[in-house]
Structure 1
Amino acid sequence: MSPVLKVSRVGKAFQEYASELQRFANWFGLVIRPASQHWVLRDVSFSVAPGEAVGIIGQNGAGKSTLLKMITGTLPPTEGSVEVVGRISAILELGMGFNPELTGRQNVYHSAGLMGFDRQQITCAIHEIEAFAEIGEYFDQAVRTYSSGMQMRVAFAVATAFRPAILIVDEALSVGDAYFQHKCFERIRSFQKEGTTLLIVSHDNSAVQALCDRAVLLDRGHLIKDGAPSEVIDFYNALIAEKENATVSVNQLDGDGAVQTISGTGEAVVGEISLHDENGDPVEFINVGAPVELRVKVRIAKDIPRLVFGYMLKDRFGKQMFGTNTYHTDQVESDLVAGSEVVFSTSFNANLGAGSYSVSTALVSTDTHLVDNFEWRDLALVFTVSNFDKPYFVGSNWMPPVFKVTK
């Protein structure tokens, strides 16, 4: 199947010239050497199949927005090429293209016109756009009176009024309220079912994992990883935690091809990790709601003034179920010496739906891995939850209800 999007060795450099005259001459094909140039993106290649959903992740300044602007054609690449099949609809910057002096309704006609739709097509869709945005009488007031959330509502409503071949969504969705975010994601999912290709840029890992078939990771203008969302996000988290004297290792696990990512300085490492039932016996299969104990033995390789242990439970898609650490429970360990061991144990009821889950562990000095990351280990342990004796239910959590029926 031919790709609907093909990015081939794309790069973007912003150039500065000694004078405006030299810049002007360069526009007309005269080869003028710029005084300086700064590459924000270099040698990026990937393709997207019809109907595929791809997340683009990376830290601020990695080149994500620049890449999207080149894909939509609003910014030309300095090198390489972008091939697109079909119409693109994009929400890159909040209210981009909106005239603050025009009303929401007038801006819809203007924006949809720029997207290639004629007035009759827009008129046929305007009532649906107004209804989806849900901003009431503000739809006929100047956009300069809008809050950022109201701008987001109108921008998303007009961008998705006509189902595109490719839908691109940048971080703009993050400004919407929770209700409208749910509404937006429902529309995105309906487009996916109808065959729309999706590119989504988000720092919300859950959104990427819920919507995307794969993810690509940009770092300092280069594409450094392309794969399953959970695998790429684990590597991204490790990359954020990495310090100058830290390492990131990626290990292929036996069995289903899962990939484990480990990062950190190695000053403290997980030696053993196990899950135990209420009798203290090691288990890999547990019943919904059963009491369990997670035991983690940590080896101290270097004197450490402070140690915080944290863990995260994830489902098989990498979606976070629950996580916490000993900083938040006021149980920080102090003045640990090289060669010693510390055993952390935590007990909880496995109120999870049937399925496969994993445990990620973190050994840090504070409440976050961004200060001292001794070790961050994904897929440290995998276990399975089965429903042996509970009434049938669907979902990720066991939350037994009590029904009351009144006639």
Structure 2
Amino acid sequence: MTLLSVNNLGKAYRTYGSEWQRIASWFYLPVTPKEEHWVLRHISFSIRAGEAIGIVGQNGAGKSTLLKMITGTLQPTEGCVQLNGRIAAILELGMGFNPELTGRQNAYHAAGLMGFNAEQVGQVMGEIEAFAEIGEYFDEPVRTYSSGMQMRVAFSVATAFRPEILIVDEAMSVGDAYFQHKSFDRIREFQKQGTTLLIVSHDRGAIQTLCNRAILLERGTVIKDGNPEEVMDFYNAIIAEKENAKVEVRQLEDGSVQTCSGTGEASVESVGLYNAEGAPIEFVSVGEPVSLRIVVRISSDIPELVIGYMIKDRLGQPVFGTNTHHLGCKLETLRAGETLEYRFGFSANLGVGSYSVAVALHTADSHISCNYEWRDLALVFNVVNVSKEAFVGLAWIPPTVECRR
């Protein structure tokens, strides 16, 4: 069942030569605007019941504008939105709150706008107050609240009743870590019960943990829609893209999608994982000492080279990453035609599962500075437990135990 359908949605802000022309445009009379700026255009997608969708993109891509049109707080210039279910939305911080009213009064007001009567809201008001955890401030004017306290009340009200669709904007990034964890636990609980999630976030971990699909907006249009890891890799490449840089997407033999970007002055020729005897391996035992070998070719003279790698779990979330800048091993004044081999030795203190390695060639401490090449899924390997005690999780951290009576 399709809960949300967005069809050719667009939003333009227009300037008219006179106030009469603006008024005429309200009645759809043929008036040519003096200026026209499209924030979003030709946006189309649908969401089925139970899906979790992440909306990502750089600042100004149109993410918040899209959510406002979906929730009905902003009217589209063209296209339409079709909804089949009750929406709960947390958009701009404090949106819809009256600063002179108390948190309790605003809770009644906001829930009323969501379609609930005073009796229904009264039945859950105790739960709203308890979940927000702001104590006596719940009965104080909202103007006395910190941004984190506003977020607590807004989230508590929006999720007091389980919605068919929950929409969360970047306001979730406000506040303390404790409440963020608590909020995401409630979101996961709703997902298990069948709630559809639409979330905007710059947090790669949140998108890949909560979502089974991601949509990337760039300059007001959808440029990628698919697996969260693939979309976030492509998004990362766009962020790093500079003048004359390229972004390339490749289909690998196993069906996965690899994203490469960079200006090309230096490139990765090969990446391999080797055991203590120097033999290439694909399966690694928990705790086994290994060597990650990366061969780099220099195609143009460059003043500096830093190489970094990131180990990711099967969901694409970072497990460990470092680079030669932080390790005190960067090279300077490299010439075209040189070939370098880097060997990173470490013990695979990882949990059982599949992992990938991303590699970056750049200057300074980050690939954002000058990206020669960024390559996701440069290597995939598997960790198996051959000789260690049984454990769960992403890291092998064997403890000592002592028991006293």
Q: Which residue of 2 aligns with 1:234?
A: 233
Once residues 366 and 386 of structure 1 are traced to their aligned partners in structure 2, the CA distance between those partners, rounded to angstroms, is 36
How far residue 326 of structure 1 moved from its aligned partner, in angstroms, is 1.2
SS in 2 for 1:266: coil
1:197 maps to a residue whose letter is T
Amino acid at match of 2:183: C
| 1:313-344 CA distance string (max 9 Å, x none) | 00111111011111112222100000001211
Equivalent residue in structure 2 for 1:327, among 315, 325, 331: 325
CA–CA distance in structure 1, aligned partners of residues 146 and 395 of structure 2: 36
1:67-124 alpha-carbon deviations (Å, 9 max, x no partner): 1111111111111111111011000111111111111111101111111110000000
Within 1, Cα distance between the matches of 2:129 and 2:142? 14
1:397 to 379, 395, 398: 395
Q: Which residue identity lines up with residue 68 of structure 2 in the other structure?
A: K
* Normalised TM-score (structure 2): 0.98
Q: Residues 64-143 of structure 1: matches in 2 within 5 Å?
A: 64-143=63-142
Distance 1:406 1:16 in 2: 77
> TM-score, normalization: structure 1?
0.98
State how far apart, in whole Å, the 1-side matches of 2:282 and 2:25 are: 66
Which segment drifts farther, 268-277 or 24-33? 24-33
2:270 paired residue number: 272
| SS in structure 1 at match of 2:2 | coil
SS at the partner of 1:406? coil
Residue in structure 2 matching 1:352, options 350, 353, 363: 350
Q: Can you list the C-alpha shifts for 1:127-180, whole angstroms capped at 9, x where unaligned?
A: 000000000011011111111100000000000000000000111110121110
| Cα offsets for 1:204-233 (capped at 9, x unmatched) | 000000000010100001100011000100
| Equivalent residue, structure 2, for 1:311 | 309
How do 1:280-299 and structure 2 match up within 5 A?
Answer: 280-299=278-297
What letter matches 2:93 in structure 1? Answer: L
Q: Who is 1:153 aligned against?
A: 152
The structural deviation recorded for 1:31 is 2.4
SS in 1 for 2:367: coil
Task: Name the counterpart of 1:364.
Answer: 362
Distance in 2, Cα, partners of 1:167 & 1:173: 13
In 2, Cα distance between equivalents of 1:91 and 1:173 = 8
Distance 1:247 1:48 in 2: 31
Among residues 256, 261, 264, which one is paired with 1:263 in the alignment? 261
CA distance in 1, matches of 2:27, 2:81: 23
CA shift digits 1:166-208 (9 cap, x unpaired):
0001111101211100000000000000000000100000000
Counterparts of 2:61 and 2:166 in 1: how far apart (Å)?
A: 21
Compare 162-171 and 28-37 and name the one that shifted more: 28-37
- Alignment partner of 1:102: what SS? coil
Q: Which amino acid in structure 2 is aligned with residue 210 of structure 1?
A: T
Quote the Cα distance in structure 1 between the aligned partners of 2:55 and 2:147.
23
Structure-2 separation of matches of 1:208 and 1:352: 23
Distance in 2 of aligned mates of 1:237 and 1:29: 42
* Alignment deviations for residues 333-383 of structure 1 (CA, whole Å, 9 cap, x no partner): 100000001211111111111011000000001112222110000000010
Is 1:22 matched up with 2:21? yes
Runs (4 or more) in structure 1 with deviation over 3 Å come to none
Quick one: which amino acid aligns to residue 199 of structure 1?
A: L
Residues 324-333 or 84-93, more deviating? 324-333
Matched residue type, 2:265? E
Structure 1 match to 2:223 = 224
CA apart distance, 1:405: 2.5
Secondary structure of the residue aligned to 1:380 is strand
Separation (CA, whole Å) in 2 of partners of 1:247 and 1:230 = 19
Quote the residue 1:206 is aligned against.
Answer: 205
**Structure 1 residue 3 corresponds to structure 2 residue 29:** no
Whole-angstrom CA distance in 2 between matches of 1:203 and 1:331: 31
C-alpha deviation, 1:12, in angstroms: 0.9
Aligned-pair CA distance for 1:244: 2.4
What RMSD in Å do the two structures reach over aligned CA positions? 1.0
Match of 1:200, as an amino acid? I
Unaligned runs of 5+ in 1: none
Measure, in 2, the Cα distance between the counterparts of 1:362 and 1:274: 15
Question: Identity over aligned residues, as a percent?
Answer: 64
Structure 2 unmatched runs, 5+: none
One-letter amino acid of the counterpart of residue 269, structure 1? S
1:298: Cα distance to partner?
0.5
SS at match of 1:272: strand
Give the equivalent residue in structure 1 for 2:59: 60
Task: Quote the offset at 1:241 in angstroms.
Answer: 1.2
Question: Aligned residues, how many?
Answer: 405
1:172 corresponds to: 171
Matched with 1:185 is 184
Task: State the one-letter code of the partner of 1:362.
Answer: A
**Counterpart residue type for residue 270 of structure 2:** E
Shift of 1:28: 2.8
